[in-house]
A and B are shown apart, each in its own frame.
Chain A
Amino acid sequence: GAVVSQHPSRVICKSGTSVKIECRSLDFQATTMFWYRQFPKQSLMLMATSNEGSKATYEQGVEKDKFLINHASLTLSTLTVTSAHPEDSSFYICSARDSLRQIQETQYFGPGTRLLVL
């Protein structure tokens, strides 16, 4: 149980285009999902907290208009990187908390999406 999927796993795009990444909880409901960015050989950097039915909460330094987050259902959150530039190239990982589990702090991670902007 507690499986999270991400799509696509890899994406290459031209500078100036927008890219949408989907994060789905496959076998549980997730009122809260998280989006992280990870640079090579570093730990996870939280970008934003996505709450179902409400606006996402962004971490300091993360541009809301650049990284659009939508959490329209209990099993799906999307991250759209708008007008992508080469410096947005990174490994993006989502995670979800199981709303019904006793230990709600535990996060379950997706497999990640590698974005390369040319």
Chain B
Amino acid sequence: TQLLEQSPQFLSIQEGENLTVYCNSSSVFSSLQWYRQEPGEGPVLLVTVVTGGEVKKLKRLTFQFGDARKDSSLHITAAQPGDTGLYLCAGDPGGFKTIFGAGTRLFVKA
């Protein structure tokens, strides 16, 4: 079974702290996507990483794709309450069917 393991599952932090969310697999992915979902809404695409070792920045969010294209991380600097949400990683290991991680539920307290 091809899985994307996300950790941590839940994270509650104070405003201003940094955090990292991990997405790991034993499978190689041609690309990985990160989404953020707020309650009652659909997931919103944050980034797609394609190249092994790639680093992409989106304001205070930094995304990294592992050299072997089996894992990815999302780092948030100086978290804000607006960052609160469910973060999902997703990827297609070549079977034309995207698999999703279980998600990381982030709560940033003011």
Contacts and interface: CB of A to CB of B under 8 A. Distances in A.
A73 B75 CA distance: 39
Interface of A: 2, 4, 6, 34, 41-44, 46, 49, 91, 93, 95, 103, 105-112, 114
B90 to A, nearest CB: 7
A103 B42 contact: no
Contacts of B43: 44, 93, 109
B31 A112 contact: no
Given A43-B86, A44-B43, 15 more contacts: A34-B98, A46-B97, A46-B98, A91-B40, A93-B43, A95-B42, A103-B31, A105-B30, A105-B91, A105-B92, A106-B33, A109-B42, A109-B43, A109-B44, A109-B45
Contacts of A112: 40-42
Contacts of B107: none
A44 B102 CA distance: 8
B88 interface: yes
Interface string B33-54: 1010000111111001010000
A105 B98 contact: yes
Nearest to B32: A105
A112 B41 CA distance: 6
Contact of B48 (A44, A103, A110): A103
A108 B48 CA distance: 11
Contact of A41 (B30, B98, B105): B105
Interface in B68-110: 86, 88, 90-92, 97-98, 100-103, 105
Given A43-B101, A44-B100, A46-B97, A105 B42 contact: no
Given A106-B31, A106-B33, A43 B42 contact: no
A35 to B, nearest CB: 12
B90 A107 contact: yes
A44 B88 contact: yes
